[in-house]
Amino acid sequence: MTKKILVVDDDPMARRILQRMLEPGYLVTSFENGEEALRHFLQHGADLVLTDLKMPRMDGMELLGRIRQVRPETLVFMITGHSSIDNAVAAIKQGAYDYIAKPFDPDDVLLRLERALRVRKLESRVRTLELENELCRPEAAILSAHPKMLSVLEMARKVARTQSNVLILGETGVGKELVARLIHRSSPRRDKPFVPINCGALTESLLESELFGHEKGAFTGAANRRIGYLELADGGTVLLDEIGTTDNAFQVKLLRVLQDRILYRVGSTGAIPVDLRVIASTNQDLEQEAREESFRSDLYYRLSVMSLRIPPLRERIEDVPLLARHFVAKHQAINPQVETIASAGMAHLLAYDYPGNVRELENIIERAMILSTGRTLEPEHLLLSGCAAQNGSAPEEGAPPALEEAEKEHILSILRQCGGRKTEAARLLGINKTTLWRKLKRYAPEAEAPS
């Protein structure tokens, strides 16, 4: 299949030279600015993009950033003159694959492009197989065997076939964006852009400009026209993460987009039609906030046509071994000699309540891979956060039997390692001596006396 290459340069001579050079073996489309190239790219895609660094309306660095956000696997080469090699190197640090310098050496250019495409093809084989598997089995993208999570994934699979907006609820770190991506990949929009926006990371004024775009001169600093993320996501899916952090003025404008399927750039009265599916996510109780009028109720009902609540990891603690082993494999490159998690280490993990959820578990495993010097991850490698996190205060009486047994095994294992020295055991467990004695009284009365 002929590879598609986009050439983007405001110099018509450079475009013609590259097009003549590449057309015998590639399908080449050229553009004089990044804005037009991005529109084409979002609709038709490309295997490789050759872009100049300095162009009007949208320069090469901004084009690179936009491409990497929606399709990071695309190869981007920067076109530069010898006087701006440093800028090309900076672009590579931002994700560009390579650069080519003017004047062009045809043999060198063709060799670089062919090599890059060949390497990327090899790199993408595993990824392609994984993606095909996910499209056939949407739940495979998220590791879980717990009925609560499997029910969420089944509902996500059903809603993916529709055009309905979705509200994903859950604590920080539970995987709300993963579920949103799964919905997009399993939907008829899968070949169009998926654009995630963290509303909480942007100021109110910047959020409006980023999402709706702006015209040149719309406000101080608006030197060029900017296409907003909602417009870039046309035909696809936009994820509005932390939607509960937005202010009333923004909510009114977003509601208009959802109702009328049109948007207005900042500083413009021209209506722009958009075809979007909106997925919103939050760790807040938006229903309660809508009742209290701190969040617009009309927007809430527009967003929550279907609501999915992702259970926190502490409600599906049985998933910890599955996830922990997955993260060991994922971060194998950090420490290739690590093969597994010791039983005492797994007990250590099972006795924790994970306030940071799956994201925190991954951080714990990644850190343990750095600390370990052997083939297994031991309790001393699995550094949990806070006093309660060190397995001391959870689980308490009334916890599930499996967790109590795991905690008992872990505490007694540490106590044996310390030769029965409870002060040392308490230090390793990250709890005070009183807490350890209380737990020993419950788990091993014969060992409860202080030492």
Residues 173-187 pLDDT 10s: 999 999 999 999 999
Q: What is the pLDDT of residue 394?
A: 41
Q: What is the pLDDT of residue 385?
A: 57
The fold adopted by the segment(s) 4-131 is: Rossmann fold (3.40.50)
Helix (H) or strand (E) holding 110: helix 106-136
Could you report the per-residue pLDDT of 117-131, keeping only the tens digit for each?
888 777 755 544 444
User: Which residues lie closer than 8 Å to 313 by C-beta, 6 or more apart?
Assistant: 174, 319, 320, 323, 354, 357, 358, 360, 361
Q: Where in the chain is the domain with CATH 3.40.50.2300?
A: 4-131
Closest to 97 in 3D by CA, of 108, 80, 86, 113: 113
Q: What is the pLDDT of residue 396?
A: 44
Residues of the chain under the 70 pLDDT cut = 1, 82-84, 124-141, 385-407, 427-432, 434, 446-451
Q: What is the pLDDT of residue 125?
A: 58
Q: What is the pLDDT of residue 427?
A: 65
Q: Where in the chain is the domain with CATH 1.10.8.60?
A: 314-447
Dihedral, 427, 429, 431, 437 alpha carbons, nearest 10: -90
Q: What is the pLDDT of residue 200?
A: 84
Q: Where in the chain is the domain with CATH 3.40.50.300?
A: 140-309
- DSSP assignment of 372-433 equals --SSEE-GGG---SHHHHTTSS-S-TTS-HHHHHHHHHHHHHHHHHTTT-HHHHHHHHTS-H
Q: What is the pLDDT of residue 24?
A: 83
CATH of 140-309 given 3.30.559.30, 2.60.40.1190, 3.40.50.300, 3.40.50.720:
3.40.50.300
Q: What is the pLDDT of residue 9?
A: 93
Report the CATH number of the 314-447 domain. 1.10.8.60
